Amino acid sequence: MIRRRVLTGLLFVAAVTSQPAAAVESSGLNILVIGATARTSEDLIPQALAAGHEVIGLARRPNAVKFEHANLTVVKGDVYDVDSLKAAMTGDEIVISVYGPRTTPEIEIPESDLMSKGTANIIEAMKAKGNTRLFATSSTSVEREIPETEPIGVPLTQKWMWNMRGVYRDMRHMEDVVHESGLEAIVLRPCQLLQEPMRHDIKLAVDVPAPGRRLITYADFSAFILSQLESDDYIGTTVSVYSDRTIDWGGNVDFEAEMEKLKRLKAESEAGT
């Protein structure tokens, strides 16, 4: 059973059309965020705490979690270690999985099982402890066609899919694992995410591909997740989250700056800091 507390805090619910987001009353819940050092967590955890939820943040590097709060507990865990996942659960939490590989687009990853194996372990732990609701983060990139041969003589922005093919194939497998789990589960596919202020501009494509080359903010994506914690609207579906803003590399997205961020995060992860 999910424990609730009645609060007066408000969450912004992301709109499924271009209408402005509406505010709804939130009740305090127990949440387990798997991937507490992920970029999404930098918005998700503070928003959850502001809404009055009690948050457990699981990370391989707990010392790298940037937040301190009376309602936040940070624990050490790894998605490859089922026992560490079980230890983070009481059976009472809504599980939000936002972890992912620390990599950069110029690195070729032909194979991976991080997402599928890790999520299978999360599901195993949830069933063992009695947790029932799972939000699993994928990517709208899985909707795109993965090249069969390596593109030659193209910029990195066009070679990204080839280099990341192992990750995206693994994400597709992960989505199947989630939908076959029997849990109250939603697969979330955000498009390109940017760390910007909330724009309240997201749209949803449910069980169908989203338009390509779109942008949303981590803040809006996090707000949408939190707006669905007690809703059954999208249980059992795959929800692609996007907006009408299209990607303009070198324009509204500084590709080089984004790559530097990814390199820094990868280096911190490898250094264990």
Q: What is the pLDDT of residues 6-32, one digit of tens each?
A: 222 222 233 333 333 333 344 589 999
Q: In this structure, are residues 199 and 220 in contact, taking their beta carbons and an 8 Å threshold?
A: yes
Q: The tokens of 10 are what?
A: 């408000």
pLDDT at 1: 41
| Mean of all residue pLDDT scores within the chain | 87
Q: Could you tell me how many helices (H) and strands (E) the chain has, helices first?
A: 7, 12
Q: In the beta sheet, which residues pair with residue 134? A: 95, 185
pLDDT at 255: 63
Name which of 172, 175, 176, 152 is nearest 162 in CA terms: 152
- 259: pLDDT confidence band, cut at 50, 70 and 90? low
Across 3-17, 92-106, 154-168, 183-197, least confident range:
3-17
CA distance 219 to 9: 17
Angle at 118 between CA 115 and CA 123, to 5 degrees: 115
Q: In this structure, are residues 179 and 155 in contact, taking their beta carbons and an 8 Å threshold?
A: no
* CA 37 distance to own-chain centroid: 11
Amino acid at 208: V
pLDDT at 270: 65
Range of the domain at 67: 5-271
Query: Pairing mode, if any, of strands 238-242 and 203-206?
Result: antiparallel
Give pLDDT tens digits for 191-233: 999 999 999 999 999 999 999 999 999 999 999 999 999 999 9
pLDDT at 251: 83
Say which CATH number the domain at 231 has.
3.40.50.720
pLDDT at 35: 98
Query: Pairing mode, if any, of strands 30-34 and 22-28?
Result: unpaired
What spatial distance separates the first Cα and last Cα of the chain, rounded to whole Å? Answer: 36
Helix (H, G, I), strand (E, B) or coil at 54: strand
Across 10-19, 26-35, 146-155, 181-190, least confident range:
10-19
pLDDT at 187: 98
Predicted TM-score (pTM) of this structure: 0.85
Query: Structurally, how many domains does the chain consist of?
Result: 1
Across 133-137, 223-227, 267-271, least confident range:
267-271
Q: Which has the higher per-residue pLDDT, 249 or 36?
A: 36
